[in-house]
Amino acid sequence: MTSNIIEFIYQDRIIKVRNPDPNETLLNYIRTKLKKTGTKEGCAEGGCGACTVVLGELKNNEIIYKTINSCITFLPTLQGKQLIIVENLTSANGSLHPVQKAMINFHGSQCGFCTPGFVMSLFSMFKNYTKYEDNIIKDSIAGNLCRCTGYQPIIKAAKSLKNKNKTDYFAKNKKKTIHLLKKINNKSIEIYHKGKKYFAPRYVHELKKILKNNTNSILLSGGTDLSLTVTKERKDINSIIYLNSISELNYIKNNNKYIEVGASTPLIEFENYIRKYYPDFTQILKRYGSVQIRNVATIAGNVATASPIGDSLPLLLSLNAQIVLQEFKKRKILFLDNFFISYRKTKMKKGQFIHSIKIPLFQKNTFKAYKVSKRFDDDISSVCAAFNLEIFKNKVKNVRIAYGGMAAIPKRAFFCEKVLSNSVITSEIIKKARHALERDFKPISDMRASGIYRMEVAKNLLEKCFTEIQQKKLIGVYV
């Protein structure tokens, strides 16, 4: 069944919007149509968290609460979800939510501009966790910027929540909300609005047909890259095909040889899964944007952007990942090594989409990855590096090294790899390998870093990798 009406839950009611503008942001809708102005606009690019709202989604008969940046969320993607904004936390008789009370008690607000965003991030933490450890608190608010408080009062407010009764209004109303979510959760969307089109299929077979008939449409997953075309470049996107509505593409499979990640799997789910196999992958993803970004952004979206500073890309290159490209009838599998052509250009053709990504499991190897950025959280890399090494008795048997931020595309360090392969690790070899990076890369200078700095960092990360391996006694002391 296809519909041109999007339906979502707001204040315990199903709200229906017929043929909305596919480019309208949720933030705009909240402020101008719902006429609720608690949710603020700071940057309009997902970077400050002032616009944070929470979405309730049904998973295995439970409601999962996710923070998102409403400034970079297109309204139609709300289909089938519950929208919670800061005004909804206060009950009808005016009593505040425990999170709001904590922010007041610990002086977590000064000018107040960032406060609704922080409250929503803490509300989501309150709903999703039972223990509020330091790392959980910091992760939860890493996507919210405050110019005034210096963060400590906000962190104290978050810590104080541990003794609070968790039965809030939303917990009491859970059954009713689940009932409403089930009522609206099952249709594909097709919108036509003043010459603009928006499709949100529910199944891969529907997607294939839509894509075949609309080859000029733009694919939308988490929208954390694409939406900026509208909010920053002020352009319209005339035809959108939304992929995150397809639950068939939201999966992680593992056959002990490789992990396969479906295209619409949010990064937040993947970051938790991959920890067991490649802990450094998780460490990098923890510093990828913010929880708001990772709740919706996908690894497929990251690959498709082909950004030279896309964080997952050097990691996937070093792990020899494969991209499963699907079109109407055919399926192609490409090594990521062969996928990037030039700056933000890939081998993907019109009518194709990334179905999934396959990541081999190297049982015997050591995998290490590093990200260097100006700001620790919520910042794009200046340099990102990944090392996948098979080491036996101080000798490197196999090696794959890849860097981001060092060339127009994420790229392997072939000369450096050549120096290291089949070599016994010595200080002299490391020195040669450092030097070889100069043949591999000629990094540019831009607002994030100078070329000279990037090269020095790349060399130092290589050395850091081997120093850490040595410290873990995977190799003997090299001289």
**Residue 174: burial class (beta carbons within 10 Å; 0-12, 13-18, 19+):** middle
Q: Report which residue type is found at 335.
A: F
Among 292, 302, 281, 206, smallest CA distance to 245 is for 206
- Nearer to ligand FES among residue 87 and residue 260 (C-beta): 87
E strands, 133-202, in order: 188-193, 196-200
CA distances from 360 to 58, 231, 241 (A): 31, 37, 30
CA distance 24 to 2: 21
HSE toward the beta carbon, residue 110, CA cutoff 13 A: 10
Q: Does 162 bind ligand FES (CB under 6 A)?
A: no
Annotate each residue in 89-128 with x if it binds ligand FES (CB under 6 A) or - if it does not, as one string: --------------------xxxxxxx-------------
CA distance 291 to 142: 7
Diameter of the chain measured on Cα atoms: 73
CB-CB neighbours of 443 under 10 Å? 22
- Which uninterrupted H or E stretch holds 100? helix 98-105
Binding partner of residue 113 among ligand FAD, ligand FES, none, CB under 5 to 8 Å per kind?
Answer: ligand FES
Binding partner of residue 297 among ligand FES, ligand FAD, none, CB under 5 to 8 Å per kind?
Answer: ligand FAD
Instruction: Give me the least distance between CB of 269 and ligand FAD, in Å please.
Output: 13
- Nearer to ligand FAD among residue 354 and residue 399 (C-beta): 354
Annotate each residue in 374-393 with x if it binds ligand FAD (CB under 6 A) or - if it does not, as one string: ------x-------------
290 in helix, strand or coil? coil
Binding partner of residue 48 among ligand FES, ligand FAD, none, CB under 5 to 8 Å per kind?
Answer: ligand FES
Binding partner of residue 433 among ligand FES, ligand FAD, none, CB under 5 to 8 Å per kind?
Answer: none
Q: Which one among 20, 22, 38, 46 touches ligand FAD, defined by CB under 6 A?
A: 46
Q: Does 311 bind ligand FAD (CB under 6 A)?
A: yes
Q: Report which residue type is found at 69.
A: N
- Nearer to ligand FES among residue 26 and residue 449 (C-beta): 26
Binding partner of residue 384 among ligand FES, ligand FAD, none, CB under 5 to 8 Å per kind?
Answer: none
* Interface with ligand FAD in residues 242-301 (CB under 6 A): 243, 263, 288-289, 293, 297-298, 300-301
Q: Which residues contact 180 (CB under 8 A, 6 or more apart)?
A: 9, 12, 14, 82
Instruction: Give me the least distance between CB of 125 and ligand FES, in Å please.
Output: 17
Size of the site for ligand FES (CB under 6 A): 23
Q: Does 79 bind ligand FAD (CB under 6 A)?
A: no
Q: Which residues contact 206 (CB under 8 A, 6 or more apart)?
A: 188
- Nearer to ligand FAD among residue 168 and residue 377 (C-beta): 377
Annotate each residue in 325-354 with x if it binds ligand FAD (CB under 6 A) or - if it does not, as one string: ----------------------------xx
Q: Which residues contact 149 (CB under 8 A, 6 or more apart)?
A: 107, 108, 109, 110
Q: Which residues bind ligand FES (CB under 6 A)?
A: 41-44, 46-51, 69, 71, 109-115, 146-149
Q: Which residues bind ligand FAD (CB under 6 A)?
A: 45-47, 72, 218-226, 243, 263, 288-289, 293, 297-298, 300-302, 304-305, 310-311, 353-354, 380
